[in-house]
Amino acid sequence: MMRVDSYHAKDLILKNMVGAFAHDSLRWMGVEHTDVVGVMPSELATVEIRGDMMDYVFVQASGDILHLEFQSSAEKKIYRFLLYDTLLAQKTERKIRTVVFYANQVSTADDYLDIGVAKYRVENIYLIERDGDAALARVQDHVRAGMFTLQDRFELAFAPHMKRSLELEDTVRRSIALIEQIPDQRERSYVAALFVELNRRWLDEPSNQRIRKWVEKMDLVKEIVEEAVEKAVEKAVEKAVEVAVEKASKESFARGIAHTVHLLKKKGEPEERIANLLDIPLENVLNILSNN
């Protein structure tokens, strides 16, 4: 059986949901004034990212790019977003709009950066500003009426990240009870898989085991992976081009990092601060400075 690590599983499930239902998904997330016509492989702009961040890149009807980030911790400085979008703009030569979707009770994060020669801004959306109690009440009404929707998927999966009157453990238990009531087995497994990956840290062992039984019945992640593999086989030529572009992107990004390191050093920034600002190991900073 194909095995997928936790981050990859979460990424696959979210990407499948967001990609397949882009318009409805973005509307629920609060991303307004966009007309998505397709999903662009985000690997075209290869950037090292932490395990708590996932990125999705959409093409809009205007030809402009919508860059969507999922974050579970506040981004203190948004240099990495700037680097990502700069590379993406270089590859596509299109305008880019970046929206950062914050979960895990994050209530504030940087959205603006002034580096002198350029001013950079992202749009932040905070789940903590949503009413989790009302969301679960809506889901309960829909489940009872037999009209479970895509919106209900998201509200169930993200409910523990929203504002709530209940204790976290009670919200998790209530969410699990609602998942159990979803009549369609595949839908129940889908929501359970997303819920467990987004809320793993808050699940007690009995809840974890119960949810995993639903997921294993459908082996949902394996199904999504196999579907992705099928599409890759069908598009072998395009994949070969992507690999070539990815290699070029890595080289371009490495040059960009090196240039930025030297600029920051000339401004008098210490090596440790440069490493923190660019989110790269101190050893890499020292190697870049010593080799030039």
Residue with more model confidence, 263 or 149? 149
pTM of the model: 0.64
Residue with more model confidence, 163 or 184? 163
Rg (alpha carbons) of the chain, rounded to whole number: 21
Neighbours of 190 (CB within 10 A): 24
Residue 142 has a pLDDT of 93
Angle at 271 between CA 78 and CA 285, to 5 degrees: 80
> Tokens standing for 17?
């949901």
Is the pLDDT reported for residue 161 higher than 80? Answer: yes
Angle at 166 between CA 131 and CA 130, to 5 degrees: 10
Euclidean distance between the first and final Cα of the chain, in Å?
48
**Mean local confidence (pLDDT), 42-71:** 69
Output the CA torsion 152→157→160→163 (10° steps). -40
Alpha-carbon gap, residue 197 to 10, rounded angstroms: 6
Residue 139 has a pLDDT of 95
- The residues that bridge with 96 in the sheet, in sequence order, are 65
Banded pLDDT at 17 (limits 50, 70, 90) = low
**Mean local confidence (pLDDT), 193-213:** 72
Alpha-carbon gap, residue 73 to 45, rounded angstroms: 22
Share of the chain above pLDDT 90, in %: 21
Residues 70-106: pLDDT tens digits?
A: 888 888 789 989 988 998 888 888 999 999 989 888 9
Residue 58 has a pLDDT of 84
Domain residue limits, the chain: 31-129, 131-234, 238-290
What's the sign of the alpha-carbon dihedral 71, 47, 64, 61? negative
Residue with more model confidence, 253 or 127? 127
Contact 88, 65 (CB under 8 A): yes
